Structure 1
Amino acid sequence: MSKYTVGLVYGGKSGEHEVSLQTAFAVMNAFDYNKYDIIPFYITKQGEWRKGEIRQSPFTGIEDLKLAINSEGTQAALNVLFSRLTGGESAVKVDLMFPLLHGTFGEDGTIQGLFEMANMPYVGAGVLPSAAGMDKVIMKKLFAEAGLPQCGYRYFTRSQWKHDSFELIVGVEDDLGYPCFVKPANLGSSVGISKAKDREELKQAIEFAFRYDIKVIVEEFVDAREIEVSVLGNDEPMASVPGEIVSSSEYYDYAAKYTDGQSQMLIPAPLDSELADRITEAAIVAFQAIEGNGISRADFFVRKSDQAILINEVNTMPGFTPYSMYPLLWRETGLSYAGLLDRMIELALERYASKQALDYNNDL
């Protein structure tokens, strides 16, 4: 079998830039270099592209991922990306792109749209599920349409907050009460999230969230266990066993996820079989609600008072180091990290082939 050349895209103009580097380093070290050659594409925090040379071995450290910054710049990177359209014998051939970009400009459908315009196969969710999975408000509306129970929420834009802050605060207090959680509508990795216990904390939390997005969502507090399920597939998605997050903090914030090393992941989650089955079924429904493809992680609350299952969100580019929940759940289900990478690439090429078979002409 001939080797695939994979463009690995990482970094990005996002508050999750450093998380992306961790993911890229892990993936780079897990590839089977008998099957794949890698071309690194590093995107700086300013949004500039840097293309490295073809690699047939992994980087030796996370900082080495940035060495591509001294390689060819944005124009050269885009020339390779659009090589299927421009052709040319000297063009570097890339079989598919593998975005490992968390957050804005990477997980929100923007780079996926760039790949679509370049006629380039790519790993992971497409434009629509990426955009819907990033916007917590749109996501929740799709969940409601699919009949998935979820916690109460309100949302508003920066402009609405500027003109009607008092009315919005009263609405939150009347509908959700305290404590409540305030989040940027379009961001991940718990960046910009705060827990508000009174009106003053709510105001501060909203102002903080508006540093990261022009739309904010406020959610009611639920005393619940946090359960996560990995989903993999295109038209016939499969769900992993559920896992449980036991946070080291009051809630699963950025430090609890990435820096303090104290949070626990219980895999599989200690659930009775009937409840576990209902959660995995709901994970598939959530995946299909956003018209998912490729990969996704579905996050749930199981309310302690009555064991009700509430969908929290889906993440179309979940953490992907060997110690992240998404690949660990698949390992417990019987799919290794390297096998998971192979399957994600297969799904990307499968989706690309199905779209190439479409007729884009209107000739009758």
Structure 2
Amino acid sequence: MKIGIFFGGPSREREISFAGGRTVYDNLDKALFEAVPVFVDSRGNFILLDWHYIYKGTIRDFYPPVSALPRTELPVQMYLESLGDLSVEDQDRIIAEVGRRILPHELPQLIDFAFLALHGPAGEDGAIQGLLEWYGVPYSGSGILPSAFGIDKIAQKKLLKALGRPTPDFRQITAEEWDTADPQATLSYLTRELGLPLVFKAPRQGSSIGVSILREADVAKFAAAIERSLFRKTVTQAEWQGLAEHKKIVWLQQLVDIREGIGLPVVLNDEPELIYQPEQLLRTLNERLQTAEAVRLTSVEGETQVLVESFVQGREFSCIVVEDPTGQPLALPPTEIVKGEEMFDYRSKYLPGLSRKVTPIDLPEAEIQRIREACEEMFRTFGFQVYARLDGFIGPDGQLFLNDPNTTSGMLPASFFFHQAAEIGLNPSQFLTYLIRTSLAARRRAGLRPVKLAALLTQLDDAVAARASEERQRTKVAVIMGGYSSERHISVESGRNIYEKLASSVKYEPVPVFLTGNSQEFRLYVLPINVMLKDNADDIREKVEHQEAGHSLHPILERIRHEAQAITSTYAGQPTAQPRRVTFEELAGMVDEVFIALHGRPGEDGALQRELESYGLPYNGSGVDSSSITINKFETNRRLREAGLRVAEHRMANRLEWQADAEGFYRSLETQFPYPFIAKPADDGCSSAVKKIKNRAELEAFTRLIFRDQESLIPAEATTLSLGFKEEFPQKDAFLVETLIDRDGAAHFLEVTGGLLTHWGDNGELQIEVFEASEALATGEVLSLEEKFLAGEGQNITPARYAADLQERQRISEEVKRELRRVAEVLNIQGYARIDAFVRVRQNGAVEVLIIEVNSLPGMTPATCIFHQTALAGYTPYDFIDQILEFGKQRNEKATVQG
């Protein structure tokens, strides 16, 4: 069955839709479905996307293509709408570089079913549902009417009030009312009617976009909250002129971000002319704010109303409700969202480790059942179909509020959507199969092409039954994830991604294994799917330790699993189980090979590899000796320098030296390394604690933090280093100090990251395939964790833009690849790796490659740029993983023969 996956779209949630569409594309059962990627651009064009663009980190990394972008020196990527009022011919030229335009009437010939991974307006508001019904194409989720209702928060609130259902009190303010109102009088009215705190929402947005909380009766903060929900921004002359040039660039980057800012194009002071491009906006602000006291920017895709609600003090939860095979709603176990901050914002939702998802919510069984029944009732009341996500609060007095029902849900690997389905035993691939089947039944029930859909249902049911009865010998691969370093959350993201790529294949049967413990003792646990899809590594560790302590299954989970038996008996391959601790010997008896999805220590240091070799288990990546070198950035740099490669000036800074004479320690570093310089751990990756040190105060703060005795951060030092919310900072006995690599007068200067893959040649020699490197654009002083791994966050351009002239670009690229290949040879890297470097191109064309670090087990999250690079070389992520596993198996066979 051909499944058209619709993703992207014009909404502010397009990046999450893009990442969710990729998840669906990768997880569709390859034995049942053929995935057809239908990318929807921000003008609503349907594009049959060339597959390799699916693996870009963000939409802006490939669309519009570089050839269509105006020349700019600003480090700000643009969406299609920044290209201005394009003709159909211009749009077709742009579309042709990434795929081909699909006209709506072609859809019935191209696909049998539309899986909608679109969000927000033009995705879950009934518009696309209506178009698909017009052409007789069945689609996932709710129909036209419930979708239109599900997008409108104000209409939902009014219905809930009319039905006498508990919902926070609210008022609405239109843009016209706000423009003529006295802000102080409006704030006084709202605080009198609703009390403080107040919650402000954009009525037709999701993913917490346009949401603010006002805690105090401050008029300036109140006006900013209203503007945020209307997607406006007032800039004062004093504010603008107080910003240094580089700070204006950062401000601009934030403003044009469609999630945190208002996006482009904008109008200025309600003038008719639109401002489309970042450079144009910067120039206009510099000119206008010379004389004007303030200007107001308004997004052309703003809102016309603001929903203001009273703040609900209570425990926040989210519950996925699905239709069972008889068409009745079945609430999955509700998840409590435990936040470190009051608002469950975009970063907290999508970056692992920033919030915790506790499933089921920690309440008595009767209370959880009350939440489930309320969610099922709302599902019926609003006429939702197939599935929905319902959010709510339960107050200290037990009062239940349901709020903001969604007819679709984020579809990232560990989202509520897959997370709760896993609690009844369905992995993402199985859950998607069930939703497609349920959606076909819902469309047929509503009268859409009943004869045709009956035939499709029969075809799918037969295929599912045949797949279940197949006896297929698949290669068992233990996917080891987790660990105990500051990189453990990213390791879990990588491990899940590897698991899901292998689970939907016909060749491999992945076994998720969680590693915890310490450097003296590795503890291994085989995970059931529901535990693997917990939010982050700490939640998984807590779950396995909880189970080891002899705690039984939560009674509500037993109840829900019993209620879901009609689903799981058909779609789940095996019954749900509990985490189980295993020894290495037992693991060797269970699996054929191992994929190490760990980062840093343990994983990349050779210790785990040595253990696996002792049991004859093939594994991915470099061997013991090479891993023990590349884990140590100081030793890596020393060897590369000895081999004639360029690296930064560097030295180790030790705790004992600091304890003996702190002042002498600081002076010694300042003498050798003029400010600013880089300080970082020598054996951690993923941008963990990498800081640009600009003065003595920052050096002292960094030193005290990394040499601290207690686990918690020291608040004053964390503030000095501007550490983000929940940013991890490891404790070490030494750290690495390096000169800051800068342009040094080069004509062109950029940061790149390049991947490689090794193969065995016909004569048994090692061959190294180096991919086109990606150009990494950091918004801050160094590349952040989010920019590297969070879907829609990083700005990577693949291939890197070494030069405008294509021939010159290729010449420089070949030189860079040659240097990266030398690095791999010097360090005896095997399997695959990622090498980070800076590239200087001199006026005379000379190329200098300065190596920063080598990752022998690079991040394999869905958004990581190594997949963009392999796609250019013709490898899908699955193909790349398959090559890595095959290499490890062949290496093991060679070692056995030689042994």
Matched with 2:226 is: 206
Code of the residue aligned with 1:219 in structure 2: it is E
Gaps of 5+ in 1: 84-91, 360-364
Code of the residue aligned with 1:188 in structure 2: it is G
Higher RCO structure, 1 or 2 (CA under 8 Å, sep 6+): 1
Code of the residue aligned with 2:404 in structure 1: it is E
Deviation at 1:301, TM superposition (A): 0.4
Tell me the alpha carbon deviations over residues 133-163 of structure 1, each in whole angstroms, 9 at most, x when there is no partner: 1111111122234442111111122123223
Matched with 2:166 is: 149
Matched with 1:303 is: 395
Deviation at 1:60, TM superposition (A): 4.9
Is 2:131 aligned against 1:40?
Answer: no
**Alignment match of 1:138 (pick from 140, 152, 155):** 155
Task: Specify the SS of the correspondent of 2:423.
Answer: helix
Deviation at 1:171, TM superposition (A): 3.0
Task: Specify the SS of the correspondent of 1:313.
Answer: strand
Task: Specify the SS of the correspondent of 1:46.
Answer: coil
Distance (whole Å) between structure 1 residues aligned to residue 449 and residue 21 of structure 2: 33
Identical-pair percentage:
29
Distance (whole Å) between structure 2 residues aligned to residue 214 and residue 334 of structure 1: 43
Distance (whole Å) between structure 2 residues aligned to residue 287 and residue 42 of structure 1: 29
- Cα separation, partners in 2 of 1:143 and 1:327, compared to 1, 3 Å: farther
Deviation at 1:165, TM superposition (A): 5.1
Distance (whole Å) between structure 1 residues aligned to residue 381 and residue 161 of structure 2: 9
Matched with 1:316 is: 407
Q: Is the 8 A contact 2:150 2:406 kept in 1?
A: yes
Code of the residue aligned with 1:334 in structure 2: it is G
Matched with 1:11 is: 8
**Alignment match of 1:115 (pick from 113, 122, 132):** 132
Matched with 2:115 is: 98
| Aligned 1:185-196 pairs, distance under 5 A | 185-196=203-214
Distance (whole Å) between structure 2 residues aligned to residue 125 and residue 248 of structure 1: 33
Matched with 2:446 is: 355
- Cα separation, partners in 2 of 1:59 and 1:358, compared to 1, 3 Å: closer
Matched with 1:362 is: none
- Cα separation, partners in 2 of 1:58 and 1:237, compared to 1, 3 Å: farther
Distance (whole Å) between structure 1 residues aligned to residue 4 and residue 449 of structure 2: 25
Distance (whole Å) between structure 2 residues aligned to residue 69 and residue 174 of structure 1: 57
Deviation at 1:59, TM superposition (A): 5.3
Q: Is the 8 A contact 1:157 1:214 kept in 2?
A: yes
Matched with 1:222 is: 312
Matched with 1:255 is: 347
Task: Specify the SS of the correspondent of 1:121.
Answer: coil
Matched with 1:88 is: none
Q: Is the 8 A contact 2:334 2:420 kept in 1?
A: yes
TM-score by length of 1: 0.87
Deviates more, 1:60-69 or 1:92-101: 60-69
Larger radius of gyration: 2
Deviates more, 1:157-166 or 1:243-252: 157-166
Gaps of 5+ in 2: 64-94, 232-301, 451-899
Code of the residue aligned with 2:347 in structure 1: it is A
Code of the residue aligned with 2:197 in structure 1: it is P
Deviation at 1:69, TM superposition (A): 6.6
Is 2:307 aligned against 1:233?
Answer: no
Q: Is the 8 A contact 2:138 2:443 kept in 1?
A: yes
Task: Specify the SS of the correspondent of 2:388.
Answer: strand
Tell me the alpha carbon deviations over residues 117-139 of structure 1, each in whole angstroms, 9 at most, x when there is no partner: 22211001111111211111111
Deviation at 1:77, TM superposition (A): 3.9
Q: Is the 8 A contact 1:6 1:94 kept in 2?
A: yes
Task: Specify the SS of the correspondent of 1:271.
Answer: coil
TM-score by length of 2: 0.36
Task: Specify the SS of the correspondent of 1:274.
Answer: helix
Deviates more, 1:347-356 or 1:292-301: 347-356
Q: Is the 8 A contact 1:143 1:286 kept in 2?
A: no
Tell me the alpha carbon deviations over residues 63-95 of structure 1, each in whole angstroms, 9 at most, x when there is no partner: 699588735544x342322x3xxxxxxxx3411
Distance (whole Å) between structure 1 residues aligned to residue 345 and residue 218 of structure 2: 21
Matched with 1:129 is: 146
Distance (whole Å) between structure 2 residues aligned to residue 342 and residue 302 of structure 1: 33
Size of the aligned set, in residue pairs, is: 343
Q: Is the 8 A contact 2:29 2:433 kept in 1?
A: no
Q: Is the 8 A contact 1:178 1:196 kept in 2?
A: yes
Matched with 1:87 is: none
Distance (whole Å) between structure 1 residues aligned to residue 425 and residue 385 of structure 2: 20
Deviation at 1:358, TM superposition (A): 9.0
Matched with 1:177 is: 195
Code of the residue aligned with 2:159 in structure 1: it is L
Is 2:37 aligned against 1:29?
Answer: no
Is 2:180 aligned against 1:160?
Answer: no
Matched with 1:79 is: 105
Code of the residue aligned with 1:228 in structure 2: it is S
Tell me the alpha carbon deviations over residues 225-267 of structure 1, each in whole angstroms, 9 at most, x when there is no partner: 1011110128411110111001232211112112474110001
Task: Specify the SS of the correspondent of 1:341.
Answer: helix
Distance (whole Å) between structure 2 residues aligned to residue 71 and residue 61 of structure 1: 12
Task: Specify the SS of the correspondent of 2:206.
Answer: coil
Deviation at 1:177, TM superposition (A): 1.7
Code of the residue aligned with 2:307 in structure 1: it is I
Q: Is the 8 A contact 1:9 1:43 kept in 2?
A: yes
Distance (whole Å) between structure 2 residues aligned to residue 240 and residue 230 of structure 1: 6
Task: Specify the SS of the correspondent of 1:356.
Answer: coil
Tell me the alpha carbon deviations over residues 100-124 of structure 1, each in whole angstroms, 9 at most, x when there is no partner: 1111211122111211222211001
Distance (whole Å) between structure 2 residues aligned to residue 267 and residue 70 of structure 1: 44
Code of the residue aligned with 1:114 in structure 2: it is L
- Cα separation, partners in 2 of 1:302 and 1:159, compared to 1, 3 Å: same
Q: Is the 8 A contact 1:268 1:332 kept in 2?
A: no
Code of the residue aligned with 1:312 in structure 2: it is N
- Cα separation, partners in 2 of 1:354 and 1:168, compared to 1, 3 Å: same
Q: What CA RMSD, in Å, does the superposition of the two structures yield over aligned residues?
A: 2.5
Deviation at 1:97, TM superposition (A): 0.6
Q: Is the 8 A contact 2:7 2:116 kept in 1?
A: yes
Task: Specify the SS of the correspondent of 1:333.
Answer: coil
